[in-house]
Amino acid sequence: MRLDKFLCDLQLGTRSHVKDAIKKGLVSVNGVPVRLPEWKLDERRDTVIYMGKSLTYLQFHYYMLHKPAGIVTATRDQHETTVMDLLPAGCGKNLSPVGRLDKDTEGLLLITNDGELAHRLLSPKKHVEKTYYLECSGVLTADGLAMLENGVDIGDEAVTQPAKVRLITRSDCSYHMELTITEGRFHQVKRMVQAVGGSVTYLKRLSMGTLSLDTDLPKGSCRPLTEQELSDLKQLTATTPDR
């Protein structure tokens, strides 16, 4: 990899800025100052020092975002604030959200530039579990609960896959629950609740596969995944057979 591209990929400045820094002798490779922007290096093995700071090249980046309501899940939007606008500067290039949450939905969102992992997490054949916390208006009957757990008709060609339901509270006019699904159909959770006579008034994603929302992460904030979180996700998608 060219030295100037290496520095640009780490978002240390524009191509012209990093070229100027290199020519001024502010960059060394393996302890030797390098003044050629086109210098070829092994980004995996060579030690690069920029203005006294050792640099580590990461091909892929992984962030957990606590999405707040009112933000759209998109890489860019001309009129709305997107989840990408919540990331700090210099967090990596070519990042995208894995899947989407509705504008009014809160909770866990994984953002990465690892397209292969994103594909495996979203593949219908992998049946990766996603758990949501729901507050709903209406009455959840025993028949409605059974429909959610066994598959419900939401107007698509096929009924939904069986879901896991953990009922938290239930009254004559509302109920709260955790719902775990293995699909990602359009507005699926809201449509499932509508199919059993209810309406979602609050929705938050708690987990995706082995990754759970960090309860200490404020809304609108993000952090890199830990090594353990990333390892668990990769192991899940690597070992879960296509079904």
Q: CA-to-CA distance for 93 and 75, rounded, in angstroms?
A: 12
Tokens representing 146? Answer: 């059974």
Q: CA-to-CA distance for 217 and 225, rounded, in angstroms?
A: 12
CA atoms within 13 A of residue 93's CA, in its CB half-sphere: 12
Query: What are the residues facing 77 on neighbouring strands?
Result: none
Is 102 catalytic? The answer is yes
Q: What distances in angstroms separate CA 54 from CA 13, 31, 46, 48, 190, one per listed residue?
A: 16, 11, 11, 6, 48
The single residue of 77, 102, 214, 232 carrying the catalytic annotation is 102
Estimate to the nearest angstrom the gap between the alpha carbon of 154 and the chain centroid. 26
Q: Which residues have a catalytic role annotated? A: 102
